[in-house]
Amino acid sequence: MTGVMNGAFSLTGRRALVTGANTGIGQAIALGLAQAGAAVVCAGRRSCDDTEALITAAGGSASSVLVDFTDPMAGQDLFAGQDYDILINNAGIIRRADAVDFTENDWDSVMDVNLKALFFTTQAFARDLIARQMQGRVVNIASLLSFQGGIRVPSYTASKHGVAGLTKLLANEWAAKGINVNAVAPGYIATNNTEALRADPDRNQAILDRIPAGRWGDPADIAGAAVYLCTPAAAYVHGAILNVDGGWLAR
């Protein structure tokens, strides 16, 4: 059957860069993009061999590049001549401590990776697209803490509020240029970043009690939302922050 939705969810012929693709949410998104037909380049400060292997086993196309986003300008030279038209900004870190004890180093390190590197990498991506007069998609990985305060993660919360704001600002500037900028805000997902929470029985149970879906999210739950925002089906979606949280914010 053919119709208006024919091909609306296909990424065939597209080329995507996924940052922080070596594990967790980034790995799942990279696999999802490849399954939708995109050629995927996995970027991370650690080897993305496992992600490449998963994509290849699924019949997809993958390669990788080592990039350390603790240098916020590390993404400046990733795009020229590479024909990317999708960028997934997933790379991020977290530091936990009471606000009264939080150090300048823990503040700066998180802000550099989660916010400054995200902005300047996206800037380089957009400059390349605009120079080529091409359309493209940016999907930032935000957080529930783009909307809430959380506890013991001051720089992470500040950075993710910043990601939400930048998503809207860049959408305002680039929508008319054919560049869609959106974000996905994951809820509590079973990844390395949440291992400490899941290992604390009281905190783990308190989180589960708040989630209407009754479970921690899986990285694959985020992949579907990110892939959707890159497809023709989301052509008129600009500046959105899509919550994928098992109903947490609805509670």
Convert the pLDDT of each residue in 121-131 to its tens digit: 999 999 999 99
Choose the catalytic residue: 156, 188, 228, 236: 156
Tokens of 147: 């909307």
Name which of 195, 175, 190, 231 is nearest 37 in CA terms. 231
Report the pLDDT value the prediction gives residue 6, as an integer from 0 to 100. Answer: 66
* Pairwise CA distance, residues 37 & 55, whole Å: 11
Q: Could you give the C-alpha distances from 231 to 190, 198, 242, in angstroms and in order?
A: 26, 33, 15
* Residues above pLDDT 90, as percent of the chain: 94
Q: Structurally, what CATH architecture does the domain formed by 15-244 represent?
A: 3-Layer(aba) Sandwich (3.40)
* Pairwise CA distance, residues 15 & 90, whole Å: 16
* Pairwise CA distance, residues 58 & 34, whole Å: 8
Report the pLDDT value the prediction gives residue 222, as an integer from 0 to 100. Answer: 98
Q: How confident is the model at residue 196 (pLDDT cuts 50, 70, 90)?
A: confident
133 touches 116 (CB < 8 A): no
| pLDDT surpassing 50 at residue 2 | no
* Residues above pLDDT 70, as percent of the chain: 98
Backbone angles phi, psi at 155, to 5 degrees: -75, -35
2 touches 72 (CB < 8 A): no
Question: Is 156 considered catalytic here?
Answer: yes
50 touches 22 (CB < 8 A): yes
Structure letter (DSSP) for residue 61: E
| pLDDT surpassing 70 at residue 1 | no
* Pairwise CA distance, residues 234 & 59, whole Å: 25
Comparison of pLDDT for 3 and 91, the residue scoring more: 91
